[in-house]
Amino acid sequence: QGPISGVNKEIPVLQCHGDCDPLVPLMFGSLTVEKLKSMINPANVTFKTYSGMMHSSSIEEMMDVKQFIDKHLPPVD
């Protein structure tokens, strides 16, 4: 619960959530992303939902994660 400052305020965040998740309702994902946006630069927070996805992952989600990693992390030699 320490303060977020400096470079950490600019960290990019991708949060993904299925809209049919029976374990972690979408409402909790939405509340979490709003809290994140209040703690760090909200322009750096991306919240993606996936239609019909339960408490699992999908090809679409994994492609979004790959795209996020490719954009924000340096390539591995």
Q: Is residue 46 included in any domain, yes or no?
A: yes
* Residue 7 in domain: no
Residue 56 in domain:
yes
Domain count for the chain, please give it. 1
pLDDT digits 0-9 by tens, 43-76: 999 999 999 999 999 999 999 999 999 999 988 8
Give a yes or no: residue 2 inside a domain.
no
Full residue range of the structural domain in which residue 37 is found: 13-72
Q: Does residue 47 belong to any structural domain of this protein?
A: yes
Number of neighbours of residue 65 by Cβ within 10 angstroms: 14
pLDDT in tens, 5-44: 777 899 999 999 999 999 999 999 999 999 999 999 999 9
Its pTM stands at: 0.87
Q: Is residue 30 part of a domain?
A: yes
In a domain, 28, yes or no: yes
Establish if 21 belongs to a structural domain. Answer: yes
How far apart CA 41 and CA 49 sit, in angstroms, is: 20
Structure confidence at residue 2 (pLDDT): 61
